[in-house]
Structure formats: C-alpha cells, structure tokens
Amino acid sequence: MKSAETEISVSRLDIPVGLIKKVQKHPNADSLYVELVDPPSSAKVGERVTFLGYSGEPDSVLNAKSKVWEKLQVDLQSNKVLVACYKDVPFTTSAGVCKVSSITNGAIR
C-alpha cells in the first residue's frame, strides 16, 4: 500500500484561480495553440481548484524527483464541452467549473 506521501493524486496540486487571459500561437510550433483555462467569472482569485472524489491537501512544494506533475498532467485535458478535466473530473471552484474557449479534447500542460 502506498503512503499518502508517495500516492500520486491530483489533490496534491495547488491550482489557484487566476486572472491572466490570453490565447496565442505556440512559440515552437505553427500548428499548436496555447489557450488558457478560465475559471467562472464569479470565482474568487486565489481560491483552490478542486476535483470531486480527490480529497487531500496539496503539497507545499512538489518534489521534482517524484515527478508528480509529470505523472498527473498526462490526464489533464479539456473535454468535448470545453470543460477542463482530470480523468473526466472537472476542475471545480465554488462558482462552478473551469472552461476553455474553443479547444475540445485538448491537452492541458
């Protein structure tokens, strides 16, 4: 059985609501685009984004050797209705789910 310290769970990420919004061409590839994930407009800046079914406190600092981010980010993507998800579980705030503007089934990095 894995200890809480070594378990790879999305609850270990501290993803706060932010305000910066911009879509741009990817700097290293003409066919890729960068699109930001938007929280609901009434979400509070600094509020932690959560994932239903994944409880726990975030790591204060992710240990680079554990590769937590690298292991979790492969399951982060927008779905067919533009909702940002981890393994089909929406990024959620007290004001609702986080969305992208136009890219369906896109990887979130």
Q: What three-state secondary structure class fits 72?
A: helix
Residue-number span of the structural domain to which 54 is assigned: 1-109
Look at the chain and report how many structural domains it folds into. 1
CA 27 to chain CA centroid, nearest Å: 21
Q: E strand or H helix at 73, and its extent?
A: helix 68-73
Looking at residue 22, its pLDDT comes to 63
Tens of pLDDT along 66-104?
Answer: 888 898 999 999 999 999 999 999 999 999 999 998 889
Tokens of 44: 């509070």
* CA pair distance 72, 12, nearest whole angstrom: 10
Q: What is the CATH number of the domain that holds 54?
A: 2.40.50.140
